Amino acid sequence: MILNPNTRQALTEAVRAQVQAAAPTFPSSPAGGDTWVALTAPHGADYIATEATYVLAARAALDAWHLYTGPRPHAILVACFGDPGVWALRELSGVPVMGLAEAAFREAQALGPFGVVTGGAAWGPMLMRLARGLQCAGPQGLVAVQTIEASGGEMAAAPQAAWDALAEATVALLQAQPGLRSVILGGAALGGWVPPVRERLVAAQAAGRLPVGELPPLIDSVEAGARWLAQAA
C-alpha cells in the first residue's frame, strides 16, 4: 500500500508510478487483480510544509486507513518525506510501515554522514527532530538540512526552476559540509529528479564550484521508499 497523507491525488499517482517502476514486480494476488493499493488522504492539506499541516496529515493518514475496506496489505509506505502518522499506523495496522524520510535516512546513514536538500523552510528543524528521534542524527548521520523557499507542491508546478534551485542548494550544502558521503533529495514531489539535479552539479563542478572528483551519491527519497516496500512486502 502507498498512502499519501496529503490531498493531492496527482501526487499519489506520481508516487505510485515511480514506486512500481523502481520496485521489483510482486506476484499476482491470489484473488487476481492489482496487488498495489494507493490511498489519498480524505482531508487535510494539499501539501505538507508546516508544523500545522504535518499534524493534520498524521490524522488524515489514520483516517485514510480506517476508511479502507480492501484486503490487508503486506506493507504500507507513507508517501511523505517527514513520515506523519507512521508510528500510529504501525500500531493500528499490524504490518510493516515506513515513511520516505526514514527509508532514505537508513540508506544514507549506511554510507556515512549525509545531508538533505528539500523544499520549505519549516522542514529544516522538523527533519532534524525526526532524525534525532530515529537515531539518525549526528556526526555519522544527518549533519545538515538545506532548504529552498519553495515547497514541494510549488516545485512540482515549475520543475525546471526547481531543478536549478535544488542544485544550487546542494552546491551550498556540499561547500559547507565537504565530508558528506551522500545527499538526499527529500520530498514526494521530488521523486525522479535526481538525474536533472546531478547534471547541474556536474556543471557546477566543471565550473570550479565543487572539488574535482566523484560527487557524493544523490538519494531519491521515493526510490528509497520503493526499495524498502519491495523488501518488506
222, 15 contact by CB (below 8 A): yes
CA–CA separation, 67 and 125 (whole Å): 32
- The share of the chain scoring above pLDDT 90, in percent, equals 87
State the number of CA atoms in the 13 A half-sphere of 128 facing the CB.
11
Quick one: pLDDT at residue 27? 52
- Grade residue 153 by pLDDT with cuts at 50, 70 and 90: confident
Domains of the chain in sequence order: 2-99+224-232 (3.40.50.12500), 102-221 (3.40.50.1860)
**Cα separation of 197 and 180, whole Å?**
17
Q: Which helix (H) or strand (E) holds 154?
A: helix 152-157
Taken in order 155, 160, 161, 163, the sign of the CA dihedral is positive
Helix residue ranges per DSSP H, 33-93: 51-67, 86-93
CA distances from 233 to 74, 83, 88, 174 (A): 5, 19, 19, 35
Cell 499506523 appears where?
A: 89
In this predicted structure, what is the pLDDT of residue 29? 47
86-93 and 51-67 are packed helices; what angle lies between their axes, rounded to 10 degrees? 20
pLDDT value, residue 24 = 61
Mean local confidence (pLDDT), 104-115? 98
Whether residue 137 is predicted with pLDDT greater than 80 in this model: the reply is: yes
pLDDT on residue 64: 97
**Could you read off the pLDDT of 208-232 as tens digits, one per residue?**
999 989 999 999 999 999 999 989 9
pLDDT of 151 reads 87
Residues in a beta bridge with 80? none
Q: For the chain, give the mean pLDDT.
A: 93
CA dist., res. 81 & res. 99, Å (int): 7
CA pair distance 108, 181, nearest whole angstrom? 8
| Residue 159, pLDDT above cutoff 90 | yes
- Residue 79 has a CB neighbour count (10 Å cut-off) of 28
Q: Check residue 26 and give its pLDDT.
A: 56
Report the distance separating Cα 62 and Cα 215, nearest Å: 40
